[in-house]
Amino acid sequence: MTKKERYQFVIGYFLSHAPNAETELLYDDPYELLVAVILSAQCTDKRVNETTPKIFSRFPDILSLSKATPEELFPLVKSISYPNNKTKHLIGMAKMVMENFGGKIPMTVDELIKLPGVGRKTANVITSVIDLQPNMAVDTHVFRVAARIGLTSNATTPLATEKQLIKHIPTNLVHKAHHWLILHGRYICVARNPKCDICGIKSVCKYYHSKKIRTIIDPFPVKDNNAERIK
């Protein structure tokens, strides 16, 4: 199977089975999404969704957040991973948006990555979700799933993965493909013991077929603890 055929199959499958895939973070506007995505770094969407209502109740917009003190915000963030850093990032982000962007969340990757706590992945999420821009945010799920299926080859960094995916996915579908791969990695192609038995794309998956070959060659293989490690 060629890479083009593999991409066509995977895209066709998700268009049929998950046409309306979207972020699981809860938000009402760009400000709320940006706060949620900053908080979601190395943290589950479920925990973020449990935390943000209190934050948005106390700080309903970018202006109010820009005036927050660490002492006011930290208690609302402390259940999230790295609460000290994220408290500083959120306040610093809000101040910069007010001072440099007139209180409006910028909508280009280059502008967004200037904000505290915002890297390329976060900027890609914001622009693709809010503005449907063809930007591919690569987190650990996208990185793992793309490599396992065979959508990427020898991509050792998130940026390399991003470039390979964008090269082969139609521009109008990139913003959806981001969610397809994340959700597939979160619920089916999990890091340990992927659920290949219920996977709808295993017929074109390089990982699945390599696993079948290993089983045929050695029905009692020695477990490789490094097999699932993502660098």
Binding positions: 189, 196, 199, 205
What are the binding residues for [4Fe-4S] cluster? 189, 196, 199, 205
User: What span, in angstroms and rounded, lies between the C-alpha atoms of 213 and 109?
Assistant: 42
Residue 45 among the catalytic residues: no
Sequence-ordered strand ranges (E) for the chain: none
User: What span, in angstroms and rounded, lies between the C-alpha atoms of 63 and 76?
Assistant: 17
Residue 197 among the catalytic residues: no
Query: Can you list the alpha helix ranges (DSSP code H) found in the chain?
Result: 3-17, 30-39, 45-58, 62-66, 70-77, 83-100, 109-112, 120-131, 140-149, 158-168, 174-187, 206-217
Q: Using alpha carbons only, what angle is made at residue 213 by residues 13 and 221, rounded to the nearest 5 degrees?
A: 120
Q: Which of 54, 104, 139, 176 is catalytic?
A: 139
Q: Using alpha carbons only, what angle is made at residue 16 by residues 27 and 46, rounded to the nearest 5 degrees?
A: 30
User: What span, in angstroms and rounded, lies between the C-alpha atoms of 189 and 185?
Assistant: 4
Residue with tokens 């890091």: 191
User: What span, in angstroms and rounded, lies between the C-alpha atoms of 35 and 39?
Assistant: 6
Q: Which of 67, 95, 121, 231 is catalytic?
A: 121
Integer angstrom CA distances of residue 164 from 127, 130, 145, 155, 174: 19, 23, 13, 8, 12
Annotated catalytic sites, by residue? 121, 139
